[in-house]
Amino acid sequence: MGYKKPSLIEKIAEKIGIIENLHNGHDTGDVGRITDEGMQTDYPPMEQWDHWEEYEATSWPRKEKKAYTIVPTTCFNCESACGLTAYIDKDNGEIRKFEGNPYHPGSRGRNCAKGPATINQITDPDRILYPLKRKGKRGEGEWERVTWDQVLDEIAARIRKAIQEGRNNEIAYHVGRPGHEGYANRVLQGWGVDGHNSHTNICSSGARFGYNIWYGHDRPSPDHANAKFILLISAHLESGHYFNPHAQRIIEGKMKGAKLATMDPRLSNTASMSDYWLPTYPGTEAAVLLAMAKIILEEGLYNRDYMYKWVNWDEYMSKRHSDKSQDFDTFIQCLIDEYEEYTPEFAENESGVPASTIREVAIKIGEAGERFATHNWRSAASGNLGGWCVSRTLHFLNVITGSVGTKGGTSPNTWSKFKPKFFDVPPPQKFWNELHFPDEYPLSFFEMSFLLPHFLKEGRGKMDVYFSRVFNPVWTYPDGFTWMEAFMDENLFGMHAALTPTWNETAFFADYVLPMGHSAERHDLNSYATHSGQWIAFRQPVLREAARRAGKDVTFTYEVNPGEVWEEDEFWIELSWRIDPDGELGIRKHFESPYRPGEKINIDEYYQYIFENTEGLPEAARKEGITELEYMKKYGAFEVKPHTYKQNEKEISADQMRGADVDPDSGVIRKGGKEIGIMVDGKPMVGFPTPSRKNELFSQTMVDWKWPEYSIPTYIKSHIHNEVLDKEKGEYVLVPTFRLPTLIHSRSGNAKWLVEIANRNPIWMHPKDAARWGFKTGDLVKMNTDIGYFVDKVWVTEGMKPGVVACSHHLGRWRRDQDQGNRWATNTVDILNPEPGKWKMNTKSGVKPFKSKDADSSRIFWADGGVHQNITHAVHPDPISGMHCWHQRVRIEKPGKDDQDGDIMVDTNKAHEVYKEWLEMTRPAPGPEGLRRPLWFKRPLKPEKSLYYLNK
Ligand code: SF4
């Protein structure tokens, strides 16, 4: 933290000379940026950001002052994009440290441990500094340094050829951590390729599907700070997303009297701070949530007015109860009857949570009414077959309490997310890539990315040009050996360029490794649903901005970054021009300046255009006598709207209504063949982006797409339900969906402080289970999955629900002898492939001290780098949401005498069989009218509408 105001005692002590007066020269009054009750903190005042002096901590007890230029940017270590300020040493021009940015409306000056640890990533002695090209065979570990020019020319020629030959579907961009608000999507549409692939189906598809089927939005944005009751289906805080912005608002809500309940089989940090810990048996959450819904309905605690107006109850009645009176009271009774079996006792039987607690929490939720904030991100929705039912039944509680979009309630995240206006919008592509959206998964959210190597193995297609971008499927995905096999086959992946700030297990199997910037070394636009407001933030390369302030010209960001570390934004512009140098492919025009016709756009112009078209920003900039871009470079963030409540009630203007039709029965307003709103109380309102423009309790979409049994919120028994486990044989459920809040998936391996805090991932086991096996903390345990096994250590803890075991997924990083990088966190392993499909990994040595320019590297005291559990998991694609169902049925075993810590064995032939078993569960397209996918569903990079129809 920067300047801290003296306390009263400090002031007196300084005045009478008991302690040195360290606050002289800082008497600038109140420079705090946070004005919420009792939560004010102080920062260097903005007018001193060009020249800020503070005492150098390492010089103590000498009083040495250092001068800094302070430049704002945003963190890239999770999705929240909290504000950071970089302190750039004026003597040597190097970044010294990162603090919070008090002008950032999402994080309000605060960060989690991963924010300030950005400095470790920047100074990491093992980072990649120059573009590299492989020598020898893929995966052999030999690299040569090449120039950016060579990289651009070679890759551009390959893309150009593929496009000229109509092989557009062989070009793909596969993203792990995005965080750039549509930049890459625009590039891909500029190229005319259906080439977007993401990590969403191993992360959040389950929860997204459950929300989407209700109200067309696929993520929640809880207003924790104003809630009376907060219910988290968690691991989500521990899993990193919105960790700091949500955590600070949850505490704020609690300080104002809110009660917090957390559903999680682990006593996580969040659960330990909660008023109610509900340790549900994994996969039974929806049963508990439905029991709560039933109690709220029976007790009359539901919000009648909201349900009457904003639920498609009339459609539910006409489709499911056409024989009954079609009035609202009958509807409520039908609903109670519908969920008759979901008694608290039934929920207790399923989940293990006492019926009395379920009842108590349900009543509290009902009493909180509109001030009921909820959140589900990964966690249960990503762990289970039918996990999407968890978010669907959670939203059910928001619907019946009328807390959708209210103050203290839960809004759709899209209301809080800013949509940038681009200088150029390419037309939708004329391709549908079935490797990303195959017919078997017409409802998937989103691309079936974790099945890609299986699709390629089956001969469904090829990747001729494949970009992985801050993405590490060999390590983060299930079934990593199948990825390795595919990557090593040049018939499947013709060319693989890994765009990454750090070495990772996937980059080892690339043809080009292209060093991309960490958060303080790149441009991005950010906007996330951290609370009920809407903001944008500007991630900027801080040394470039410092150079600008010093009057130096910089053309490309790699000129100021360490080595030749670049950024994607400029890379894509340069690449696009080289794909289409003369403009004949129609690509180049999408990368021409809006201010200098016919010339190549530069990065300042790209953002200048967006900021000029951001509501309220031109006025704010004008007040200061600067441009919009200068404003963002100065503050790093801008609040577009302080609140975004009840956007569904936004009225449609008379102008917009001209030419629209209103359906006399449903009140749905249509224009140009599209639903645009709904009549409520005689007023035309925008409603929700569903066919009924309301919350869809009854989903005709589920019926139309062959899943009528799930037309209303329900509970699906998970693939790891207690009924399918044979406890006598030692079968347990393994929960692998959490990580510790100080770690990221891959990139914390380059942050020494973070690895020092947490560096092992043992199996969490309750004392009762440990006693059954005779395990004590530190003993080895063999975890047998469907396709292999891993050997790990046991951690005996009361913080785990009995009968369930868990293992954090953030550790177990590895490198082979021939690989480079990440020595803070990686075990050195041997990988053997004794016969086709059979893979073995064993740990040769753990993490060890090493010599480098960073003296701390020789002080490493930890040795256990953890175990790579994900690589032993088979793919489990949910047949509806497409989500990988992470929870594993494992057979616990005492290791044999030859088993060592970290040993791994996998059979990829078995992995392919499991893939096929799950594929059998699907109900493929076409849907109604020969559709591949419902037209109203979201899809990244929507192609031309005609491509939605299967010509079969
Ligand atoms: S929560 Fe932590 S890791 Fe995520 S953006 Fe904020 S500071 Fe960075």
What is the reported pLDDT for 855? 97
Mean pLDDT, all residues of the chain: 94
How far, in Å, from the CA of 115 to the mean position of ligand 1? 5
Alpha carbon 832 to its chain's center: 33
The protein residue with its alpha carbon nearest to ligand 1, atom 6, reads: 82
Residues with Cβ < 8 Å from 522, sequence gap 6 or more? 76, 516, 539, 540, 541, 557, 567, 568, 569
Angle at the Cα of 97 from the Cα atoms of 72 and 539, rounded to 5 degrees? 25
Q: Model confidence over 405-461: pLDDT tens digits?
A: 999 999 999 999 999 999 999 999 999 999 999 999 999 989 999 999 999 999 999
What is the β-pairing status of strands 668-671 and 780-784?
unpaired
pLDDT digit string (tens) for 803-833?
999 999 889 999 999 998 899 999 999 999 9
pLDDT score for 747:
81
Query: Is it the case that residue 34 has pLDDT exceeding 60?
Result: no
> Is pLDDT above 70 for 680?
yes
Q: Looking at 686-818, which runs of residues are DSSP E strands? A: 731-735, 763-765, 780-784, 788-796, 804-807, 814-815
Substitution candidate for ligand 1 out of 78, 241, 535 with most atoms within 8 A of CB = 78
The number of the ligand 1 atom at minimal distance from the alpha carbon of 243 is 1
pTM for the model: 0.95
Which ligand 1 atom is nearest residue 81's CA? 5
CB atoms within 10 A of CB 710: 18
Q: Ligand 1: which residues within 6 Å by Cβ? A: 75, 77-78, 80-82, 107, 111-112, 114-115, 243-244
Ligand 1 atom nearest the C-alpha of 242 is 1
Q: 109 alpha carbon to ligand 1 midpoint, in Å?
A: 11
What is the rounded distance in angstroms from the CA atom of residue 40 to the CA atom of residue 27? 17
Q: What residue owns the CA closest to ligand 1's atom 2?
A: 112
**What's the pLDDT tens digit per position in 299-330?**
999 999 999 999 999 999 999 999 999 999 99
In three-state secondary structure terms, 486 is: helix
Q: Residue for token digits 């890994």? A: 498
Query: Residue 391 — very low, low, confident or very high, per pLDDT cuts 50/70/90?
Result: very high
Atom of ligand 1 nearest to the CA of 112: 2
Residue 89 CA to ligand 1 centre (angstroms): 23
pLDDT digits (tens, 9 = 90+) for 178-217: 777 789 999 999 999 999 999 999 999 999 999 999 999 9
Query: How does pLDDT run across 73-104, given as a tens digit for each residue?
Result: 999 998 899 999 999 999 999 999 999 999 99
The model's confidence at residue 269, banded by pLDDT at 50, 70 and 90, is: confident
What confidence tier does 33 reach under pLDDT thresholds 50, 70, 90? very low
Order across the sheet with 65-74: list the strands: 52-55, 65-74, 83-89, 95-100
Task: Tally the residues of the chain.
Answer: 952
| pLDDT beyond 70 at 247 | yes
* 670 Cα–ligand 1 center, Å: 42
User: What is the atom index within ligand 1 of the atom nearest the CA of 111?
Assistant: 7
